[in-house]
Structure 1
Amino acid sequence: MKNIIITGTSRGIGFEMAKLFSEAGHNVLALSRNSKPILALKLKNVSALEFDIADESEIVKLGGYLQTKMKEVDVLINNAGFLVNKPFSKITSEEFKQCYDVNIFGPATLMRTVVPFMKKDGHVVNISSMGGVQGSVKFPGLSAYSSSKGAILTLTELLAEEYKETGPSFNALALGSVQTEMLEEAFPGLKAPLSATEMAKYIVDFSLTGNKFYNGKILQVSSTTP
């Protein structure tokens, strides 16, 4: 039984991961701005907290929760994401900043808070996007989203180097399109090759075993070309 923290659990991949970890008998702390969907499931060994990853004060408060409740973390999955699909000439500074707050600044603060509770064999998994991979096909309208997802990839590599002697391990998964509510909102009518449940199963397995084989790596998880 491992202690797992997942962000972005109100829907999509994060929601499905919480269910899968619970079914496998692990302890889960599900973090999202809306805890009702997870709490409604009444999952075994799953605690849900309302939590805004873009609010640094809420992240700092999480440290107190970890000290009194969970005390040790085996796996942290930075899954929460924010996507804006707008031409660069139309996107506002606030929208650009919100992408970075959710996709890079928030995860960075969360990792600083959680890593002290992790041992050498712990595993931090940052969920990124194929759009953030250098040299990959880029799509108009995703200047804020894809650039922020590129930043989390580089940060993952840097942290793996910085913590290589003490742990935990840091890896990133650059996902292709997955059929989630976020995708439907940004690209109405687009049909992705994988469901949220299918991708959740892959990430759950990787988070539990991937650190035995990888550290500081960016794995491209996409069944389509591009």
Structure 2
Amino acid sequence: MKKVIVITGASSGMGKEAVKLLINQGHSVYALARRMDEMQDLQQLGGHPMQLDITHEENVRQVVETIVQREGKIDVLINNAGYGSYGAVEDVSIEEAKRQFEVNLFGLARITQAVLPIMRKNKSGRIVNISSIGGKIYTPFGAWYHATKHALEGWSDCLRIETKPFGIDVVIVEPGGVLTPWGTIAAENLKKTAENSAYQTRVNKTADYMIKMYTEDNNLSSPVTVAAKIVKASTVRKPRTRYATGYMAKPILFIRRWVSDRMFDWIISRFG
């Protein structure tokens, strides 16, 4: 059945690949992102790119209203927009920490709140939140990023219970290592936070490891692989509540579940 699907963070990586797969399945897909120039190919494929900054409430409201005017409904919302802010807690400004939450959690909540009344009216819908295995684990110098993803996990669980009586599913996708520019961008920004810092030596080691991992590690999953799982979570008739996917996602989550905090500290500290 053809669905009206809205996806944020659609200008690159797994978000963009998910849009392509959904278009190929025959769905009406609205690809939302700040960079319209990066989505022209999606329009040529039959998608509907629209400019959106999820941190701007009026922009969110206008975009959702436009889609509903055109389609009369929204069947699926895929919350994929986000970024990783890395740095020692002592070094990252509270302003940057707030921005991390504004994009990764509050922006996501903003567009979800805008879409929910439409889904409730139709007594059906699905919210797919792209979290991370980082919502279950932690890594050196990733405190603010992990905080947003841990928060998203709990937020999504509460939302799932609240919306079930209205026929709305809430699904979480937890990617592991994915070969996208995300890692190198996060690593470069990490180095900037530690200039003349007490953490500089350790930060540089971690950042260099991240850059190597995201440029040389052929084991990382392709964006298409993770996109396929996002599509499944969005379209399967009876979805699971969570889908872990991508490089090392399931093994790492298994380890975290069964080892102590101190043991996991030791394990994760070996990587960077």
**Take 2:239 and 2:227, find their aligned partners in 1: how far apart are those partners?**
20
Which digits, 9 at most, give the CA deviation of each residue in 1:56-101, with x for residues without a partner? Answer: 2211222321331122111110001111121111111121111101
Instruction: Provide the identity percentage.
Output: 30
Instruction: For 1:204-223, list aligned pairs within 5 A.
Output: 204-209=231-236, 212-214=238-240, 217-223=241-247
- Computing the radius of gyration from Cα coordinates, the structure with the larger value is 2
The DSSP-based 3-state class of the residue aligned with 1:177 is coil
Q: Which residue of 2 aligns with 1:188?
A: 211
Q: Which residue of 1 aligns with 2:39?
A: 38
1:223 CA drift (Å): 4.1
Which digits, 9 at most, give the CA deviation of each residue in 1:130-177, with x for residues without a partner? Answer: 1111xx3x2111111111011111111111111111121111112111
The DSSP-based 3-state class of the residue aligned with 2:212 is coil
**Take 2:11 and 2:179, find their aligned partners in 1: how far apart are those partners?**
15
Q: Residue type matched to 2:182 in 1? A: M
Runs of at least 4 residues off by over 6 Å: none
**Take 2:167 and 2:183, find their aligned partners in 1: how far apart are those partners?**
34
**Take 1:181 and 1:154, find their aligned partners in 2: how far apart are those partners?**
27
The DSSP-based 3-state class of the residue aligned with 1:197 is helix
Structure 2 alignment gaps of length 5 or more: 187-209, 253-272
Corresponding residue pairs, total: 220
Q: TM-score, normalised by structure 2?
A: 0.76
Q: Is the 8 A contact 1:3 1:70 kept in 2?
A: yes
Q: Which residue of 1 aligns with 2:131?
A: 128
Q: Is the 8 A contact 2:42 2:49 kept in 1?
A: no
The DSSP-based 3-state class of the residue aligned with 2:185 is helix
Q: Is the 8 A contact 1:83 1:182 kept in 2?
A: yes
Q: Which residue of 2 aligns with 1:110?
A: 111
Distance 1:188 1:223, change over 3 A: closer
Q: Which has the higher strand share?
A: 1
The DSSP-based 3-state class of the residue aligned with 1:165 is helix
Q: Which residue of 2 aligns with 1:170?
A: 170
Q: Residue type matched to 1:88 in 2? A: V
Which digits, 9 at most, give the CA deviation of each residue in 1:96-132, with x for residues without a partner? Answer: 1111011110111101101222244421100001111
Structure 1 alignment gaps of length 5 or more: none
Q: Which residue of 2 aligns with 1:48?
A: 49
Moved more, 188-197 or 158-167: 188-197
The DSSP-based 3-state class of the residue aligned with 1:201 is helix
Distance 1:220 1:67, change over 3 A: closer
Q: Is the 8 A contact 2:82 2:103 kept in 1?
A: yes
Distance 1:40 1:221, change over 3 A: closer
* In the alignment, structure 1 residue 146 sits paired with structure 2 residue 146: yes
Q: TM-score, normalised by structure 1?
A: 0.91
Moved more, 37-46 or 110-119: 37-46
How much is the aligned-residue C-alpha RMSD, in angstroms?
Answer: 1.6
**Take 2:123 and 2:170, find their aligned partners in 1: how far apart are those partners?**
11
1:41 CA drift (Å): 4.3
The DSSP-based 3-state class of the residue aligned with 2:153 is helix
Q: Is the 8 A contact 2:233 2:239 kept in 1?
A: no
Q: Which has the higher helix share?
A: 2
Q: Is the 8 A contact 1:11 1:181 kept in 2?
A: no
* In the alignment, structure 1 residue 198 sits paired with structure 2 residue 225: yes
**Take 2:93 and 2:58, find their aligned partners in 1: how far apart are those partners?**
25
